[in-house]
Structure 1
Amino acid sequence: MPFVIYVLGLAVFAQGTSEFMLSGLVPDIAAELNASVPAAGALTSAFAVGMSVGAPLMAVLSLRWPRRRALLVFLLAFLIVHVVGAVSTSFAVLVTTRVLGALANAGFLAVGLATATSMVEPNAKGRATSVLLSGITLACVAGVPAGAVLGQAFGWRSAFWAVAVVSAPAAYAILRSVPNTVPASGTTAAPGARREARVLRRPRLLVLLLCGALVNAGTFCTFIYLAPLVTEVSGLTQAWVPAALALFGLGSFAGVTVGGRLADSRPLRLLIPGGIVLLAGWLLGTVAAGSAMVALPLVFVQGALSFAVGSTLIAQVLYAATEAPSLGGAFATAALNVGAAVGPALGGLAIGAGFGFRSPLGVSAVLVAAAFVAAGAAEVVRRIRSTPADEVLISR
């Protein structure tokens, strides 16, 4: 695996830390900037929405740019808005920096996926994808807890400074390591965008994107409410929350690593049994989360399965979108973040409706089941229409 792909993973680590670190900083931000706690909590939602909308927009904007320039522009913009956020005394300015940071993050991840998969053998897209996505899982394991510790010790602004500092060496390494080549998608942005957009209208790609969004929605539906699940349902003390978060992060890292090794050669052997066990795990949680002896191992297992299945689906998107490398990566990024935004919203609705803190587990199960239904329906339609073999949902 080329060293530069690990550099891209470092940048994704910084960006993943930024996306999720506010979970431990919201009360301090609200108090210092005279905002309500719900308003400060909406900073995370603003980031997810910016990622979802920004991925395709930023990919189209940068379609004519050499990939090194695009990666540097997006990463430096991300760094700068975090510096602005760190010194801001206005809540409105902080919200603006979160949206702009999300747009830069979305553009970077979309171009980064296209860059990473173009630098490896055609049958190694899954491993390249897993390296980038491992940056997000490592952010859950180390970046987010470290941000919380920094916030408690030195104030919430120190976490923003830390993200900027980690981004700087990644920018330098990209400058030195990424070839300054122009993507082979056309000489002008509009025709290239139109060509790639036509590829993305294929039913197979749309179903893969839908399944990826549904699985990720199930993941974050429960992950966001892991703290009250551990304390209110499993009956553990608040001191166990960081351990549970670390277990989920370690599981997700293990899952994305294993998924990367199987996504290229044996995706069906991972997706079908892995998806079934993932669904069963969410269902088990709805009835057994009251036992800490069940809940804690389940946190690790579900983190591993969620990211193994999710990263494999994204790799399949990239395989199916070889004729649309820039927009394929962009829409994969958007699908992940649509899931990250929709899942917690649905979990919150279930809790608000009075179903309790274990209800997000049931919602997660429904979302994964919906992914199976979507994939099954697509396969039935394909067989009825006698689509050629190369149009099957999973290419290997």
Structure 2
Amino acid sequence: MPLALLALAVGAFGIGTTEFVMMGLLPQVAADLGVSIPSAGHLISAYALGVVVGAPLLAAVTARMERRRVLLWLMGLFIVGNGLSALAPDHTWLLAARFLSGLPHGAFFGVGSVVATTLVAPEKRARSVAMMLTGLTVANIVGVPVGTLLGQELGWRATFGAVCLIGVAAVAALALLVPREERTARTAAPVGLRGEMAALRSVSVWLVLATTVVGGSALFSAFSYITPMLTDAAGYAEASVTLVLSLFGVGATIGNLVGGRLADRSPRGTIFAGLATMTVTLLLYPVLMETRAGGAAAVLMLGVAGFTLGAPLQLMVMTRAASAPSLASSANQAAFNLANAGGAWVGGLALAAGLGVTSPAPVGAVLAVLGLGVAGLSLLADRREHRTGRVVATHLPSPDGAPARAE
């Protein structure tokens, strides 16, 4: 794999760290700024809102820029947002800084996915996307635990300062390793904002985005409440939860890499297999959470099943919006963050109804089945487009302007 993919993974590692580390720092932030933990929790929502707003917006307004330059500007905005977070004098300032930090998130993964696919042969494009996303999954194994520990020992501001340094390293790696785009016939006349938005009129694109929202909600319905499941059901001490949760990152890394390899053979088949595996896994949660060993296995299995979907969904939405892959793949990242919020809300409804501490998992299984249904509708929509003569591509155009291969 090209070294440029390593540069993209470094940027993904920094983004993943700053996104999830706030969950471990909430007590320190709340105490330092004099707010309640629920109020401090709004900092997580502010970041997610920044992702949802920034992903399609920044991808669209930078449509005419060289993609390497876009990545550098996005990482620059990432550094500024985290620097302002480290310097925040009060809760309001930190809310604004977290929103700013979230703005480049989706656009970076969207544009980065397109860049990654141009660096490899067509039969390895899903694997190239998976290699970039590995930075995000490894952040859950290394970046978040280390960042949480750093915040506990030196204060939460030190954590965001360290994230800024990761951003600087990512900028250096991107500048050195990612090649400049050749000004070919394809890149010399970018589609612009109107062309990017027109690509989102496709029913096929929206059905893939809907699969991301529903399938992702299944994942987060359970994962949002994994800590009380581990402590109240599996019997883990609170001090042990962080170590057990690192298994989720391990599973996510495995699922991401396996999903990328499988998606190069059959993106749609990988999506169906991932959603089916997630359904079975979530249905087993009430039984697995009866023991510590079962709880650890459940966390690992959820990571594998959930992140098997990342690369194939990203690749499918890009190929179904081949004239505007940056905007489409960025929109897919916004959809994933909507799934984060939606899944947590649905899982919370099960808890509020008194259905038990593990009840969000079976609810997530129902969502996974719905995701299978949406994926099936996507298949039918593609077949109908074939019958009407509108060919759906399975590969993006090559950097030299060669046409996409038809499905």
TM range, smaller chain: over 0.9
Task: Show the counterpart of 1:255.
Answer: 255
Distance 1:288 1:172 in 2: 45
String of CA shifts for 1:310-352, please: whole Å, max 9, x gaps: 3322222223232212212211221222112221122223223
Task: Show the counterpart of 2:76.
Answer: 76
Percent identity between the aligned chains?
Answer: 34
How many angstroms does 1:131 deviate by?
1.2
Task: Show the counterpart of 1:360.
Answer: 360
- Matched position secondary structure for 1:235: coil
How many angstroms does 1:292 deviate by?
2.7
The answer to whether structure 1 residue 309 and structure 2 residue 309 are counterparts is yes
Where does 1:48-197 land on structure 2 (aligned, <5 Å)? 48-181=48-181, 184=186, 187=189, 192-197=192-197
Distance 2:365 2:60 in 1: 35
* Equivalent residues of 1:117, 1:128 under 8 A apart: yes
Task: Show the counterpart of 1:11.
Answer: 11
The one-letter amino acid paired with 2:266 is: R
Unaligned 5+ segments in structure 2 are 396-405
Distance 1:389 1:73 in 2: 36
Task: Show the counterpart of 2:239.
Answer: 239
The one-letter amino acid paired with 1:27 is: P
Task: Show the counterpart of 1:340.
Answer: 340
1:267 to 1:67, Cα distance in 2 relative to 1, 3 A: closer
- Matched position secondary structure for 1:35: coil
Task: Show the counterpart of 1:327.
Answer: 327
How many angstroms does 1:277 deviate by?
2.1
Distance 2:352 2:99 in 1: 27
Give the stretch that moved more between structures: 92-101 or 317-326.
Answer: 317-326
How many angstroms does 1:143 deviate by?
0.9
How many angstroms does 1:187 deviate by?
4.4
How many angstroms does 1:251 deviate by?
0.4
The one-letter amino acid paired with 1:173 is: A
The one-letter amino acid paired with 1:119 is: L
The one-letter amino acid paired with 1:82 is: N
Task: Show the counterpart of 2:401.
Answer: none
Distance 2:378 2:363 in 1: 23
String of CA shifts for 1:147-186, please: whole Å, max 9, x gaps: 1111111111111011111111110121222233379467
Distance 2:388 2:16 in 1: 39
Aligned residues: 394
How many angstroms does 1:380 deviate by?
4.7
* Equivalent residues of 1:67, 1:179 under 8 A apart: no
Distance 1:296 1:196 in 2: 44
Where does 1:17-32 land on structure 2 (aligned, <5 Å)? 17-32=17-32
The one-letter amino acid paired with 1:202 is: S
Distance 1:116 1:45 in 2: 29
How many angstroms does 1:393 deviate by?
9.7
The one-letter amino acid paired with 2:244 is: A
Give the stretch that moved more between structures: 68-77 or 343-352.
Answer: 343-352
Distance 2:177 2:380 in 1: 46
Give the stretch that moved more between structures: 8-17 or 200-209.
Answer: 200-209
The one-letter amino acid paired with 1:170 is: A
RMSD of equivalent CA atoms: 2.3
Give the stretch that moved more between structures: 90-99 or 109-118.
Answer: 109-118
Distance 2:208 2:38 in 1: 34
Distance 1:208 1:253 in 2: 22
1:322 to 1:28, Cα distance in 2 relative to 1, 3 A: same
* Equivalent residues of 1:204, 1:393 under 8 A apart: no
Task: Show the counterpart of 2:290.
Answer: 290
Task: Show the counterpart of 1:217.
Answer: 217
- Matched position secondary structure for 2:34: coil
String of CA shifts for 1:45-96, please: whole Å, max 9, x gaps: 1111210121000001111112222111110111122112112211111111
1:393 to 1:375, Cα distance in 2 relative to 1, 3 A: farther
- Matched position secondary structure for 2:122: coil
Task: Show the counterpart of 1:33.
Answer: 33
The answer to whether structure 1 residue 199 and structure 2 residue 199 are counterparts is yes
Give the stretch that moved more between structures: 380-389 or 288-297.
Answer: 380-389
- Matched position secondary structure for 1:355: coil
1:389 to 1:289, Cα distance in 2 relative to 1, 3 A: farther
How many angstroms does 1:209 deviate by?
1.3
How many angstroms does 1:6 deviate by?
1.2
Unaligned 5+ segments in structure 1 are none
Task: Show the counterpart of 1:45.
Answer: 45
